[in-house]
Amino acid sequence: MEYSSDGRIKRGNHAAKMYIIIIIKCLKTLAFTGMVGLSLGERHFIQGGIAQDLRSDGRKRLTYRPLSVETGVIPQVNGSARVRIGATDVIASVKAELGKPSLLQPDKGKVSLYMDCSSTADPAFEGRGGEELAAELSNALQNCLLGGKSGAGAGIDLSSLIVVEGKICWNLYIDGLVVSSDGNLLDALGAAIKAALSNTGIPRVQVAAGTLNDEHPEVDVCDDEFLQFDTSGVPVIVTLTKVGRHYIVDATSEEESQMSSAVSISFNRQGHICGITKRGGVGLDPSILLDMISVAKHVSEQVLNKLDSEIASAEAEEES
């Protein structure tokens, strides 16, 4: 580039000027689109690290951060759990209420998922700011955990929630709260919900004799006898985030800001896919997608084992 004596670019050197303008424009758009303010150097560092299979926190591409589970954290609900993956911290709670099953599915209970992003996790979640992400997370979790609209393929056996067919059933309300966010919220919430469900005790219900055929049967809820859920069928979610030409698991928020797309796949114990959600605007080659699924399946086995042992030790600790 040629400069005049006062430091400005010489008039006439049009190409150089345009070049600088384009750079400034690029930087401006990046500053607005990136959730995390990263410099060009930092971005190269993250991308380069992922390409070399050594990420900025020392992990490999397919390694999870340490995961810890604490159950029974909220005393006023039927089941709850807090899951921490690195600096990501989420709480899930399960509340059971007696209700009426829907007319279309008289033999099934209802499960509703509500996620909430607390503004403590990120100032951007202030006011209604977190609602969009919360809705996205609720939807993805619904896809991955609850199966189709008919309830087929759900991780939870919905027919076990029935008290009197067509008249009384348990409604499960699953609430999630993101307390601290450092990427990979979906996997963390999925794990927290699984842990909360295994922590859940549903009170035993006795239907008063003789009122079984009435419109509103009388029920007696036991306070001391609880039924545990079978949560072996509840899947885990593994999110693969594509950065550059490679994909990684358990991305931090810095890494997520560099992603082109992310695929969340949920697997159960048998290794069956229970749901898939793809996020991010950039398209994926179908063959890469299939490759990602097989990698995710392999990772999910490790995650399931790790999660199961963490849940078991958390339950043991709570009882002691």
Partner 1 sequence: MEYVSPEGLRLDGRRPMEMRQIRAEIGAVSKADGSAIFEMGNTKVIAAVYGPREVQNKSQQINSHALVRCEYSMANFSTGDRMRKSKGDRRSTEISLVIRQTMEACIMTHLLPRSQIDIYVQVLQADGGTRSACINAATLALADAGIPMRDLVTSCSAGYLNSTPLLDLNYVEDSAGGPDVTLGILPKLDKVTLLQMDSKLPIDILENVMQLAIEGCKAIANYIREILLENTKQLEYRRGV
Q: Based on the number of CB atoms within 10 Å of its own CB, is 109 exposed (0-12), middle (13-18) or buried (19 or more)? A: buried
User: Do the bridges between strand 168-180 and strand 110-117 make them parallel or antiparallel, or are there none, so unpaired?
Assistant: parallel
Q: Which is nearer to partner 1, 61 or 110 (CB)?
A: 110
- Scanning 143-151, 173-181, 219-227, 285-293 for contacts with partner 1 by CB under 8 A, the matching segment is 173-181
* 243 contacts 259 by C-beta, under 8 angstroms: yes
- Scanning 17-25, 76-84, 236-244, 307-315 for contacts with partner 1 by CB under 8 A, the matching segment is 76-84
* 182 contacts 87 by C-beta, under 8 angstroms: yes
The interface with partner 1 within residues 180-209 (CB under 8 A) comprises 180-182
Binding-site member from 39, 120, 232, 309 for partner 1 (CB under 8 A): 120
Binding-site member from 25, 53, 54, 97 for partner 1 (CB under 8 A): 97
Q: Which is nearer to partner 1, 8 or 128 (CB)?
A: 128
Binding-site member from 67, 85, 90, 91 for partner 1 (CB under 8 A): 91
Give the integer Cα–Cα distance in Å for 69 and 201: 18
The interface with partner 1 within residues 39-68 (CB under 8 A) comprises none
Residue 38 beta carbon to partner 1: minimum distance, rounded to whole angstroms: 15
Give the integer Cα–Cα distance in Å for 259 and 236: 22
Per CB under 8 A, does 177 bind partner 1?
A: yes
Binding-site member from 16, 98, 179, 293 for partner 1 (CB under 8 A): 179
Residue 25 beta carbon to partner 1: minimum distance, rounded to whole angstroms: 22
Binding-site member from 67, 121, 145, 146 for partner 1 (CB under 8 A): 121
The answer for residues whose C-beta is within 8 angstroms of residue 26's C-beta and 6 or more apart is none
Per CB under 8 A, does 74 bind partner 1?
A: yes
Binding-site member from 17, 95, 269, 306 for partner 1 (CB under 8 A): 95
Q: Print the binding letters for residues 125-164 with partner 1: x by CB under 8 A, - otherwise.
A: -xxx------------------------------------
Total residues binding partner 1 (CB under 8 A): 29
- Scanning 60-68, 174-182, 271-279, 306-314 for contacts with partner 1 by CB under 8 A, the matching segment is 174-182
Per CB under 8 A, does 93 bind partner 1?
A: yes
- Scanning 83-91, 135-143, 262-270, 278-286 for contacts with partner 1 by CB under 8 A, the matching segment is 83-91
Q: Which residues bind partner 1 (CB under 8 A)?
A: 74-77, 80, 87, 89, 91, 93, 95, 97, 114, 116, 118-123, 126-128, 173, 175, 177, 179-182
